[in-house]
Structure 1
Amino acid sequence: MKKFAGKVAIVTGGAAGIGGASARLLAEHGASVLIADINTAEAQANAETIRARGGTAEVTSTNVGRHEEIAAMVQTAIDHWGRLDILVNNAFSPTDESDGDAIAVSEDAWDAGMATLVKAHFLAAKYAVPHMRASGGGSIVNISSVHGLLMAPQKLIYEAGKSAVIGVTKQMAIDFGPDGIRVNAICPGHIVTERQKERWDANPSGLRYFEDQYPVRRTGVPLDIANAVSFLCSDEASFITGPCARR
């Protein structure tokens, strides 16, 4: 019996990168997965990969910065499979306007960044948790970042948002623990996603610099984080809620 057999999962930003790998691994372990992403072509390609491997996946176009689209995302999962057990909040699309300090960043850029980095987690829980309660419990995994723990210059929006994700995670763990709903965060370091790989293929010495910062002398790949997601969503982690796992 696969460990997520009969379970339903939503993965935001599930087209590629950490979200893409998480969607594939959850499906491999038996979950029916809704891939929510603004890049529907890439999301469909990931869903087709899952189906080709014998898994179950559907796609919905979702901008997590918009209230109505998050509500529709959760309802789509319910319409397809009638329940919800797992939510992976991963989506974020940085723009050039996201960078800068408190002087340089515009209020509009701040509001847009906070909408996708923080408000999306609040809204996703608002709509997902009632269905998890109805299913007898569930697991929420929020993808924060090492940048939620250590600050970098000229990254006010990202650092503030990822720090807030850690606080939101701890607080929701307290609120929803009595319902059998666990809430955890993962703080990835440098993960070489598909897009990052293109960058480092052209600059291998730059990649080696990052590799040297880790005790294992390598950077991470999306599957490394997906493995952590899978563990935190499983019964093996049934006594774990609230912590932030640095990867």
Structure 2
Amino acid sequence: MHSPSSEPVLHLVPEKGTSYFRHALRDLAEGLKFAKLGCTLGWLDIKLRYRGSILGPFWLTASTTVMISAMGVLYAYLMNMDVHKYLPFLTFSLILWGFIGGTLQEGCTTFTSAAGLIHSARMPYSMHVLRSTVRNWLTVAHNIPVIVGVFLWFHVEPLWSWTLLPALLLWVFDSFVATFLLAILGARFRDVPPIVASGIQIFFFITPILWTPDLMKEGQDWLLLNPFFPLMEILRTPLLGDTVQVAVWPAALGWSAFLASVTFVLFARMRARLAYWV
């Protein structure tokens, strides 16, 4: 038999100082090691969500097509705009906004919906965020045929600029960070999902989605205070064949840096408590 002095002793040392940030960085690094697992789980979520359905996720493609066809003609008439220019704009805007709304709403329940896995297995929290991010990107990918069809029908020639790749990477980065932030807040406060849902509805009307930025002849610079506007412009404008304004990119990068900073600090401080909240 072993003497009591030979038994291993577990020393619990509270986090303090910069240890919060070291552990947060370690979680992000370990999340990269589980990237393949996160992508696989995100793919399985899509398959299980539409299991037993005939069209599967392409029901989203069909419903998007019908909605854009009806709204495009109606709003082009109401705003006295050329349907050949307005419908491609509306198509791309609604699909991008659908992705934003889905990302924000599912981000609120990222950790709470994975509570069983969090409690039963020791995995980095960033892996669960990656899972949700991959799932949302796979969902929006089913609307690509709608964009291609509208662009071909109305002969839209995208402006293939070198900024398209950085814009797409920024979208991926922001979707991951926004999901991370709302996952933390949603785990701590159960009021976050309805608050986010209400905020999405408000920003839907004050962001150029149903209406074009050109309608604001004066005060277009105020749109840069809307965090969603520069993010949409860096991807939407070149694909619609126009040139991005000079001030849009600094605004998009500034909002992204602010979002990343707040998320990292909050995660570093709250990481040790997340398992008790979900």
Normalising by structure 2, we get a TM-score of 0.27
Q: Which structure has more helix as a fraction of its residues?
A: 2
The structure that has the greater radius of gyration is: 2
Is the strand fraction higher in 1 or 2? 1
Which of 1 and 2 has higher RCO (CA within 8 Å, sep 6+)? Answer: 2
